[in-house]
Amino acid sequence: MELRSFLCCAVLLIVFCFGNGHAKLAPDYIHPCNDTTSECLVKATQFALPEFVKGIPELGVPSLDPFTIDQLAIPLSGLKVTFYKGKVSGFRKCIVDNVISQLEKRYFGLEFHCNLTIKGQYGAVGKILLFPINGEGDAKVKLTNLRMKVDINTKYVKDENAVNHFAVRNYKYSFDYGDRVSFDLKNLFKGSKELSDTVLAFLNDNWRTVAEEFGKPIVDYAVDLAIRTIEKFFEKVPYEELVNVPIPQ
Ligand SMILES: *[C@@H]1O[C@H](CO)[C@@H](O)[C@H](O)[C@H]1NC(C)=O
Ligand SMILES: *[C@@H]1O[C@H](CO)[C@@H](O)[C@H](O)[C@H]1NC(C)=O
């Protein structure tokens, strides 16, 4: 009897606390700015980043560091490349260079640079800069100071409880491969280590050209995933918990 009434109270308490729509959803590492100065936004974003990229399982927000690429075909003329069982890591240490939020204009801009490591398996058949290739094996790609700028057009939506949320209308991005991309691709020529090493050295000597030729599908994939992650977060966490500035009418 004692236990039953205790359980009753506990259930009522839970219903009261979480059922009234005021329970905070944003994790504690989100420190809402009281204005939209870049100074505050950069600081808040930099502070939240290492935790945010781990994902928020209870809100269904996936991890961005690491994030996985199950399989990705990279379409090139004359060369068929598949990248699979991939893992991308390093986002938690990105440096946030600028954050711009124009609430009235429904614009959100983000600039950052990062060192990233991409590990996985690859298969490649065809020709690469004149060299015939027929390889498969471990792949590791390191990017040093990849720079990225993302422009997001936002909108405001109300959920079923009439609570305001940010939403993504569309986005575009630009990036620069930065200071260096290094490739470590095992077994570029099945059965010839010497030839594999020669071609790998050549790819590394010409890293910018190679990155520009191969990199875009992977970067597109990463940015798309990051945007979908942010969308999921916006969908769950109300506008009011993200910024202490009244929503534009
Ligand atoms: C916003 O204002 C509140 C109340 O004055 C304060 O506690 C909080 O630290 C401020 N937020 C930031 C990011 O400065
Ligand atoms: C990336 O690594 C380089 C060289 O190790 C270092 O100088 C740079 O500060 C790093 N950049 C970031 C964003 O961590």
Please tell me the number of the ligand nearest to residue 33's CA. Answer: 1
CB of 40 closer than 6 A to ligand 1?
A: yes
End-to-end, the C-alpha distance of the chain in Å comes to 54
3-state DSSP assignment of residue 227 = helix
The yes or no reply on domain 28-241 and CATH 1.20.120.1200 is no
Ligand 1 pocket check for 33: Cβ under 6 Å: yes
pLDDT over threshold 50, residue 200: yes
How far apart are the CA of 18 and the centre of ligand 1, in A?
Answer: 25
With contact defined as beta carbons under 8 Å apart, do 28 and 237 qualify? Answer: no
User: pTM of this prediction?
Assistant: 0.86
User: By C-alpha distance, which of 46, 85, 21, 70 is closest to 241?
Assistant: 21
Q: Which of 46-55, 140-149, 215-224 has the lowest mean pLDDT?
A: 215-224
pLDDT at position 17 is 45
More confident residue, 142 or 217: 142
Instruction: Give the residue, out of 93, 115, 147, 181, with the most ligand 2 atoms within 8 A of its beta carbon, to mutate for a pocket test.
Output: 115
Q: Find the 221 Cα to ligand 1 centroid distance in Å.
A: 36
Q: Which atom of ligand 1 is nearest to the CA of 43?
A: 13
Q: According to the model, what pLDDT value does residue 85 have?
A: 96
Reported as a single tens digit per residue, the pLDDT across 213-231 is: 888 888 889 899 999 999 9
Phi, psi of 45 (to 5 degrees): -70, -45
Instruction: Report the pLDDT value the prediction gives residue 151, as an integer from 0 to 100.
Output: 97
What's the token pair of residue 97?
A: 């260079």
pLDDT band at residue 120 using 50, 70 and 90 as cut-offs: very high
Query: Is the Cβ atom of 97 under 6 angstroms away from ligand 2?
Result: no
Q: What is the band of 23 on the pLDDT scale with cuts at 50, 70, 90?
A: confident
- 115 Cα–ligand 2 center, Å: 6
Amino acid symbol at 1: M
- pLDDT of 138 reads 97
Domain spans of the chain, in order of start? 28-241
Strand partners, 175: 148
Question: Closest Cα to atom 9, ligand 2: which residue?
Answer: 145
Would you state the pLDDT for residue 133? 85
Give the distance (Å) from ligand 1 centre to CA of residue 34: 6
Give residue 10's pLDDT.
Answer: 53
CA 113 to centroid of ligand 2, rounded, Å:
9
